[in-house]
Amino acid sequence: MLKGKDLIDPKDLSLEEYEEIFKLAEDMMENREKYSEIAKGKILATLFFEPSTRTRLSFESAMLRLGGGVLGFSEAASSSAAKGESLGDTIKVVSAYGDIIAMRHPKEGSAYLASKFSKYPVINAGDGGHQHPTQTLTDLLTIKRKLGRLTNLRIGICGDLKFGRTVHSLIKALARYEGNSFVMISPKELDIPMYIKEELDRIGNVEYIETTSLEEHIEDLDILYMTRIQRERFADKEEYERLKDSYILTVDKLENAKEDMIILHPLPRVNEIDYHVDEDKRAAYFDQAEYGIYARMALIALILGLVSDNGAKCEKSNKEVIVNKEVKCNNKNCITNAETQPFKRIYKIEGEEFYRCGYCDKAIL
Ligand code: CP
C-alpha cells in the first residue's frame, strides 16, 4: 500500500510494491492520455539544495504529465537556507504549499529528517552520498525492460562506490531478488561502505566480490553499471585528481563482454564512458534516463492515491527504533552534524550488537 508513504530508502518498498510501480509505469508508457489529468489540483514541491538535471526535471515532467502543478527551487542559494534557515523549518513551511515533496540535499539523512517535519509524503531525490531510491526505480525498470528479469543476474558496479548514492540504493534493492550477485569494481580508496556490506551479509546468500579490475570480470557480467567519480564529495581535491580517471569504458574493453550485457549509468557522465560506446547496442543509459519519467509518474500517482492500489504488502521492519536518545553521530556528512535541533532516533537491527544513526545508518561507536 503506497498511498501516503514516504520513500527515503529503497527498503521502504516491498518487492510487491516495486512490482506495482513497474506495472503502472509500463501502462503509463503505453497509455499516456489515460493518466494526463489524474493529478489535477495537486502540487509537487521540488526542493533541490544540490544540482540536478535528470531527477528534478523528470520529477517535474512526471507531475506535469499527470496534470498536476509544480513549484520549488533548484539550488540552496535561491532558498532561505542561504540566510541560515534550518532544513526542519523549511520543510514545515513548504509542506503547507504542496501535496508531495521531492527533495535533494547534500547531507546524509536529510531526507529522513524532512519526512519527520513534513505533513505530506517526502521522496528522497538524493541525500548526500547516502541513498537515491528513485534512481533505483529507474534502474530496475530499465533492467526489467531490457533483460526481462530482476533475478539471477551478475551485476558489475564500477567507479566511485564510496560516495555513489545510486550504487548504494541499487545494491540494497537488487540484493533482495533471488540469485543476484555483485562484482564491485573500484579503487581501494572508493570501495563500498561497510553498512552496505553488512546489509548484504544480513540478507545472506548474496555473493559479492570486491576488485580493482574491470577487465578481469567484464566477460561474466549481465549488467555493467558505470558511475562517475563524485568530485563534489571529496574533502581532498588532490585525491580526486589522482582517482578521477580510474575507469574509462572504451569500445575495445567491451570485446569480451556478453552480447546481451547491458551498460547502465545513472548519469551525468564525465569521462568514464567513452562517447564511441554510445553507439554500441548494449549502451542503455539514455533509455534509462527516459524511463525515469515513467517510474516517477507511477510513484507519484500511487503515493498520492490517484490510481487504485493493488494492496501490495509493505516491507516488515527488522529495526528496533529508539526515539528518546539523542544522536551523536560521528559521520561528519550526516545531517545531525549540520543542524542544531535535537536529533532523537537511533536504531538497532536484529542480530547486531550496536546502534545505528537513524538518519544516515552509520554505526554509532
Ligand atoms: N541520476 C541523477 O541523479 O542525475 P541528476 O544528478 O542529473 O539528477
Ligand 1 center from residue 98 Cα (angstroms): 23
269 lines ligand 1 (CB under 6 A): no
The model's pLDDT over 32-62, given as tens digits with 9 standing for 90+, comes to 999 999 999 999 999 999 999 999 999 999 9
267 is in an annotated binding site: yes
267 lines ligand 1 (CB under 6 A): yes
pLDDT score for 316: 66
Residue 178 and residue 106: Cα distance in Å, rounded? 33
Q: What is the DSSP letter of 94?
A: H
Best substitution site from 46, 52, 136, 170 to test ligand 1's pocket, by max atoms within 8 Å of Cβ?
A: 52
End-to-end Cα spacing for the chain: 36
Pairing of strands 208-211, 262-264: unpaired
* CB-CB contact of 308 with 331 (8 Å): no
58 lines ligand 1 (CB under 6 A): no
pLDDT band at 310 (very low <50, low <70, confident <90, very high): confident
Cell of 19: 512490482
CATH 3.30.1330.60 correct for 133-289: no
124 lines ligand 1 (CB under 6 A): no
Ligand 1 center from residue 342 Cα (angstroms): 31
pLDDT band at 328 (very low <50, low <70, confident <90, very high): confident
The model's pLDDT over 72-111, given as tens digits with 9 standing for 90+, comes to 999 998 888 989 899 999 999 998 999 999 999 999 999 9
The model's pLDDT over 134-168, given as tens digits with 9 standing for 90+, comes to 999 999 999 999 999 999 999 999 999 999 999 99
Every domain range in the chain assigned CATH 3.40.50.1370: 10-131+290-303, 133-289
The model's pLDDT over 182-200, given as tens digits with 9 standing for 90+, comes to 999 999 999 999 999 999 9
Instruction: Name the CATH superfamily housing domain 10-131+290-303.
Output: Aspartate/ornithine carbamoyltransferase (3.40.50.1370)
Nearest CA, atom 1, ligand 1: 266
Every domain range in the chain assigned CATH 2.30.30: 320-364
- pLDDT of 311 over the 80 cut: no
Give the architecture (CATH level 2) of 320-364.
Roll (2.30)
52 lines ligand 1 (CB under 6 A): yes
